[in-house]
């Protein structure tokens, strides 16, 4: 959660789905709006952040 907020500026705990979807659009992340939910939005944001992490790391408190 903290990593996502630091990297893209979205607090996934308090943000509304609409705000997170706007961030997906801003980041040009493709998604199907018909098969969607809060968990899927968070997963896509996390995958975007994960691609930018370099080197061996230990990730804790991964969003469920």
Q: What is the mean pLDDT of residues 12-36?
A: 90
Contact 4, 10 (CB under 8 A): yes
pLDDT of 64: 64
Report residue 63's pLDDT band, with 50, 70 and 90 as the boundaries. low
pTM: predicted TM-score of the whole model, two decimal places = 0.78
64 Cβ neighbours under 8 A, 6+ residues apart: 39
Higher pLDDT, 53 or 48: 48
Cβ-contact 40, 29 below 8 angstroms:
no
Stretch 42-60: mean pLDDT: 85
What are φ and ψ of residue 34, in 5° steps? -80, -25
């Amino acid at each position: 959660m903290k990593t996502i907020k630091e990297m893209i500026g979205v607090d996934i705990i308090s943000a509304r789905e609409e705000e997170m979807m706007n961030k997906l659009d801003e980041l040009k992340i493709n998604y199907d709006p018909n098969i969607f939910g809060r968990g899927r939005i968070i997963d896509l944001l996390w995958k975007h952040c994960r691609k930018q992490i370099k080197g061996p790391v230990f990730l804790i408190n991964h969003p469920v």
